[in-house]
Structure 1
């Protein structure tokens, strides 16, 4: 079994704390440009979309900092497709 990130975008408030903690952890920078998780607002319905990039290091700090519990850790079989981390 391996641990992957699962996203539930519905409760997302768009705070981008997940992106900030990622950038600070891996790039020692406070910003949203160089991160492994991205929060965008949809042009269609105004909801927030969370994208975990393939470069994700799986430190799971984004899971711990999310105030809306949008991001969680799930276990999948080693041979199971992760579905872009958003499955």
Structure 2
């Protein structure tokens, strides 16, 4: 996933992690140099749908998602948890 808008400096990554942990989603969230946020996530289909909805709505009240892109990767990655990357 890649989102743009008011997604940096508003707690977006940490609230995304909180949602991911609640839904047992594994992967990571990371700020990108262009002001967007990149998320790589995996988990059960129903939980992924809930996670995507939360990301689109912005998991933090101070944030605002202007654009949302989602690309499905062909393989699973061996994530043990959801991490915030710097």
Whether TM-score is above 0.5 comes out as no
* TM bucket normalised to smaller: 0.3 to 0.5
Structure with a larger share of its residues in strand? 2
TM-score by length of 1: 0.42
TM-score by length of 2: 0.42
Structure with a larger share of its residues in helix? 2
